[in-house]
Amino acid sequence: MRGFVEGALPRAYYFEYVDRSPGIAHNHDVMLAILVFLIGLVLGSFANVVIYRLPRGESILFPGSKCPHCGHPIRPYDNIPVVGYLLLRGRCRDCGALISLRYPLVELVSGIFLLLLYRRYGFSPAFFGYSLFSLMLLAIFFIDLDHRIIPNLLTYPGIAAGLIFSTLTGRLTNAIGAALGAGLFFVVVILVSRGGMGWGDAKLGAMMGAFLGWPLIAVALVISFVFGGIVGLLLVLLKLRTRKDVIPFGPALALGGMIALLWGEALLRWYLGR
């Protein structure tokens, strides 16, 4: 409160505060943030298409979306991210089949990712690079969950994009080291564990290294293994899976990558006690 007592602030400071056009810069920021969020929703809708079609070998661009139950094309106004789902109350307009809650969820998560990245990086190369990275992680999370594969069609371009991005942000050497390190780490894990992990995990690890660099890739891997271990243990304890079942590791990796991207530096500072 002391700062607001009359005369407590230097006069120049007071005038500077008063002279600012009230709220214009602020409103501008809020509008841009909302725009970024809406673009995130639309890109999330595209991620849904990738998640559904890529593992099935279908074209991602044509034709338009259909109800997976009755095959009726989805009307453009029903296809609006999140809003369409709410208007339809989660059911197909033609056959009444339930639409998975996952569709609006993926759209929302995508919007939130882009918003968080925009708040941290503004419109910078980092914002665009990490947005692409987080959308790819989002798609890989669900594709591996559904089909137990991590498509090369995502990881190979992902590694290339990560290295290009790291070149643009001036840390190519670091990124190459992190990509090779993570890839080799998984090769060792695959050879030692014989099953459980697959080559898709190694390629995803390399892609994450290419984007995150060192030391964030290490944070991502630690989180992935802790999270994957806990979920695996819970599934076995709750008798939802047996020890022999293959539990996909891609979702754990994607989650670890996203947490490392958003909060990795804070986690590292906390862990190192600084």
Single-letter residue type at 125? P
Kindly provide the residue ranges of all beta strands, DSSP E only, lying in the chain, ordered along the sequence: none
Interaction between residue 70 and Zn ion (CB under 5 A)? yes
Choice from 88, 94, 148, 262 touching Zn ion (CB under 5 A): 94
Choice from 43, 47, 92, 138 touching Zn ion (CB under 5 A): 92
Interaction between residue 95 and Zn ion (CB under 5 A)? yes
Spatial contact of 196 and 244, defined as CB atoms under 8 Å apart: no
CA 153 from chain centre, in angstroms, equals 17
Which among 96-104, 132-140, 152-160, 226-234 is the span making contact with Zn ion, rule CB under 5 A?
Answer: 96-104
- Which residues contact residue 156 at a Cβ distance below 8 angstroms, ignoring those fewer than 6 apart? 203
Residues 97 to 156: which contact Zn ion by CB under 5 A?
Answer: 97
Structure tokens at 249: 């590791």
Which among 27-35, 89-97, 108-116, 130-138 is the span making contact with Zn ion, rule CB under 5 A?
Answer: 89-97
Q: Which is nearer to Zn ion, 67 or 139 (CB)?
A: 67
Q: How far is the CB of 79 from Zn ion (least distance, A)?
A: 13
Residues 213 to 252: which contact Zn ion by CB under 5 A?
Answer: none
Interaction between residue 261 and Zn ion (CB under 5 A)? no
How many of the other CB atoms lie within 10 Å of CB of 2?
6
Which among 59-67, 206-214, 215-223, 256-264 is the span making contact with Zn ion, rule CB under 5 A?
Answer: 59-67
Collapsed DSSP state (helix, strand, coil) of residue 240: coil
Between the alpha carbon of residue 47 and those of residues 29, 44, 103, 142, 238, the distances in Å are: 26, 5, 9, 10, 31
Interaction between residue 75 and Zn ion (CB under 5 A)? no
Residue ranges in contact with Zn ion by CB under 5 A: 67, 69-70, 92, 94-95, 97
